[in-house]
């Protein structure tokens, strides 16, 4: 049974990036204290921490120190040491299970998990599968540690296959969507169904509502609830889907708050960050509803454009106080309604 953690208690966050920052900001608004562990001394979430532990994510002693200080512990991204969590969750209050993290860390495990729940996936092979047939273009992805297109490349022959990869048949995409959901002590609520556009494998723009059919919307929600029903998990979890030839096809799981969910800071009556804090603290989240909204990610090379843009039109600018570098996510901006900006900032 999930514990009830009330304001003035301490929430521990493993990871001090922008997701940790926005989780901390929501928690502080509610009156919680924050402890953060991160290997970066100048991580952008640090200024919102009551306690900061400068440490590698696989340093058992320091991760346990964070646990000792915290009434509940959460994490902001997948690439942390699951073996450390497996040990510590037996003693401390982790509500996103190590099992869910372990599955999401490995692209093959994700696909097999989805298929075990009768959720459609792309056709795929593991790199050492004896039955591989490369009869068209496949996307070769590293089994672990890939994001924003890193660790991916197209292949057309068996000779190009590298070790420790998964081969996914390249689809003709109609759309990409994400379902941001939250599981609290009583229910699974849908935070948002978001339509996403990627450029160079980095999220470029998101829109609510997603321009999909009612049947596609309902299937994506059903599949997401099926996943949460089969995880020992509380908090926000996001599932990415492809729409191809009208079908809803599983892509990947993010057992955490998600980049596309940043849109909910303006679209929803309750953001993904507030919903996650409430859920992991054993509180009731309640129904979440959205209005028409557009999000643009801000990359380092576009910082000046978006800062100047708010002098010309109304928008909700969120900068993460991160050093601006090419293709680094340093912020986002939300607009009411559907907004298409000219591409003069690229």
Q: Give helix 214-229 / helix 107-116 axis angle, nearest 10°.
A: 100
146 marked as part of a ligand binding site: yes
151 marked as part of a ligand binding site: yes
47 marked as part of a ligand binding site: no
Whether the Cβ atoms of residue 176 and residue 241 lie closer than 8 Å to each other = yes
246 marked as part of a ligand binding site: no
- Measured between alpha carbons, how far is 315 from 332 in angstroms, rounded to an integer? 10
- Measured between alpha carbons, how far is 201 from 178 in angstroms, rounded to an integer? 15
29 marked as part of a ligand binding site: no
Q: Give helix 18-30 / helix 272-280 axis angle, nearest 10°.
A: 70
Cα 9 to the center of its chain, rounded Å: 25
189 marked as part of a ligand binding site: no
Question: Taking every pair of C-alpha atoms in the chain, what is the biggest distance, in angstroms?
Answer: 59
233 marked as part of a ligand binding site: no
152 marked as part of a ligand binding site: yes
Q: Reduced to 3 states, what is the DSSP secondary structure of residue 21? A: helix
169 marked as part of a ligand binding site: yes
329 marked as part of a ligand binding site: no
Rg (CA), the chain: 20
300 marked as part of a ligand binding site: no
DSSP string, 81-134: -HHHHHHHTTTS-B-B-HHHHHHHT-HHHHHHHHHHTT--B--EEETT-TT---
176 marked as part of a ligand binding site: yes
Q: How far is CA 192 from CA 164, 181, 328, in A?
A: 34, 7, 25
Q: Which residues contact 6 (CB under 8 A, 6 or more apart)?
A: 281
251 marked as part of a ligand binding site: yes
- Cα angle: 125, vertex 127, 131; to 5 degrees: 55
Residues that constitute the known binding site:
107, 141, 146-152, 168-171, 176, 198, 251-252
Q: Where is the binding site for ATP, in residues?
A: 107, 141, 146-152, 168-171, 176, 198, 251-252
């Amino acid at each position: 049974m999930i514990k009830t953690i009330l304001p003035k208690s301490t929430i521990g966050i493993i990871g001090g990036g922008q997701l940790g920052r926005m989780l901390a900001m929501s928690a502080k608004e509610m009156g919680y204290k924050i402890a953060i562990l991160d290997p970066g001394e100048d991580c952008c979430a640090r200024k919102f921490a009551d306690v900061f532990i400068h440490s590698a994510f696989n340093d058992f002693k320091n991760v346990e120190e964070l646990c000792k200080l915290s009434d509940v512990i959460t994490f902001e991204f997948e690439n942390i040491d699951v073996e450390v969590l497996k040990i510590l969750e037996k003693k401390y209050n982790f509500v996103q299970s190590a099992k869910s993290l372990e599955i999401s860390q490995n692209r093959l495990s994700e696909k097999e998990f989805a298929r075990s729940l009768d959720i459609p996936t792309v056709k795929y092979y593991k790199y050492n599968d004896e039955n591989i047939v490369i009869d068209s273009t496949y996307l070769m992805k590293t089994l672990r540690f890939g994001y924003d297109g890193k660790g991916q490349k197209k292949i057309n022959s068996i000779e190009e296959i590298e070790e420790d990869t998964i081969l996914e048949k390249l689809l003709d995409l109609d759309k990409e969507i994400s379902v941001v959901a939250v599981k609290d002590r009583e229910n699974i609520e849908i935070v948002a169904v978001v339509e996403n556009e990627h450029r160079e494998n980095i999220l470029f723009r998101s829109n609510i509502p997603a321009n999909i059919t009612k049947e596609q919307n309902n299937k994506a929600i059903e599949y997401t609830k099926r996943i949460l029903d089969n995880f020992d998990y509380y908090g926000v979890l996001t599932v990415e889907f492809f729409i191809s030839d009208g079908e809803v096809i599983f892509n990947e799981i993010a057992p955490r708050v998600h980049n596309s969910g940043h849109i909910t800071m303006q679209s929803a009556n309750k953001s993904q960050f507030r919903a996650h804090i409430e859920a992991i603290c054993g509180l009731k989240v309640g129904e979440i509803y959205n209005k028409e909204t557009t999000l643009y990610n801000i990359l380092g090379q576009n910082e000046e454009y978006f800062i100047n843009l708010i002098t010309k039109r109304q928008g909700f600018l969120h900068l993460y106080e991160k050093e601006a570098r090419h293709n680094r996510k340093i912020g986002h901006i939300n607009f009411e309604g559907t907004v298409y900006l000219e591409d003069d900032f690229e």
